[in-house]
Amino acid sequence: MINVGVIGTGMIGQDHIRRMTTVLSGVKVTAVSDVDAATARTVGERIGAAVHTTGQELVADPSVDAVLVCSWGPTHEQYVLAAIAAGKPVFCEKPLATTTEACRRIIEAETAYGSRLVQVGYMRRYDNAYRALKAVLDSGQIGTPLLMHCAHRNPSVPPVYEKDMAITDTAVHEIDMVRWMLGEEITAVRVLVPKRSRNGGALQDPLFLLMEMAGGAIVDVEISVNIRYGYDIRGEIVGEDGTAALGELSPILVRRAGQVATPVPADWRERFLRAYDIELQEWIDGIAAEIPASGPSSWDGYAAAVVSDAGVSALHTGQRVPVALMDKPKLYAAEVIA
């Protein structure tokens, strides 16, 4: 049984606690912590877990074998570094950190430790539809990929959501996904700014992100975070010999009043339900088997942060911004992305 401590008991923290408590096997949530002490206490009491005042105390708790970081992005670094210092495996929700410099510090700490302790929550790599799309691409059926069209649509976002988060918090999923899907790095980005939706208030919504890949393909991402009708994630690869796209995921079609309708997921919890289950179960099983983390790494978190920083710069300047990664440390050399 792996004892997990959860830092951050907000939306995804509570959802991961639910799955670790009622869906997954070989895991127990033994401790929780949040700067919102009342929420942490309510959640901790519900599942019989210890409630710590700080994340650092939780990491030091001997009843915690592994740490799950689900607090706000800018707070991730301190907890990931604390877990590495304690030699405990740590699963950090995306983004690994909100700046390139913070990700570099995590890489330095992990490489000094000498083996992988960190996994980042880029769950699309565990989604059946994305995996099926990658299998078609890798089989060669549609030939060399030339373009990928993506849409990342949220029905709405909370009031704390700011302009740059369209890149750093939302499109960062596509940034990680295309590196993994095409097996190559992103070399430059641009952001186009269309007419503003009246549903977004003061927020510039939507945005259009363009990414140039090392092999010459171009990826576009529509980022709409006030689309109202539901949570809609789209992706289509255009190859030299054909195209392949994520399918419609609903198990039913409703025919009524002269129309055919399929339900749209309400949010990311519903759309990626199984992907989150699989990523966390594999993480837990790996810890139980004493195998170093093999999912998205600190290097992937760093690469996503560099592209995301470039995206923010492109958004503010209107310019094409090149992406340059540092040399890859040996610890991550065996990973799929070159």
Which stretches of the chain bind ligand ISE, using CB under 6 A? Answer: 154, 169-170, 173, 268
Q: Contacts with ligand NAD in 66-85 (CB under 6 A)?
A: 70-73, 75
Near ligand NAD by CB under 6 A: residue from 2, 29, 52, 55: 55
User: Does residue number 93 form part of the binding site for ligand NAD (CB under 6 A)?
Assistant: yes
Could you say which of ligand NAD, ligand ISE, none residue 71 binds, taking C-beta under 5 to 8 angstroms by partner kind? ligand NAD
170 binds, among ligand NAD, ligand ISE, none (CB under 5 to 8 A by kind): ligand ISE
Per CB under 6 A, 11 contacts ligand NAD: yes
Q: Per-residue contact track with ligand NAD, 277 to 316, x per CB under 6 A?
A: ----------------------------------------
Q: Does 157 bind ligand NAD (CB under 6 A)?
A: no
Question: Counting contacts by CB under 6 A, is residue 169 touching ligand NAD?
Answer: yes
Q: Spell out the SS3 assignment of the chain.
A: CEEEEEECCCHHHHHHHHHHHHCCCCEEEEEEECCCHHHHHHHHHHHCCEEECCHHHHHHCCCCCEEEECCCHHHHHHHHHHHHHCCCCEEECCCCCCCHHHHHHHHHHHHHHCCCCEEECCHHHHCHHHHHHHHHHHHCCCCCEEEEEEEEECCCCCCCCCCCHHHHHHHHHHHHHHHHHHCCCEEEEEEECCCCCHHHCCCCCCEEEEEEECCCCEEEEEEECCCCCCCEEEEEEEECCCEEECCCCCCCCEEECCEEECCCCCCHHHHCHHHHHHHHHHHHHHHHCCCCCCCCCHHHHHHHHHHHHHHHHHHHHCCCEECCCCCCCHHHCCCCCC
39 contact choice in ligand ISE, ligand NAD, none (CB below 5 to 8 Å, kind-dependent): ligand NAD
- Candidates 23, 35, 218, 238; binder of ligand NAD (CB under 6 A) is 35
User: Where on the chain is the footprint of ligand NAD (CB under 6 A)?
Assistant: 7-13, 33-36, 39, 55, 70-73, 75, 93-94, 121, 123, 169, 268
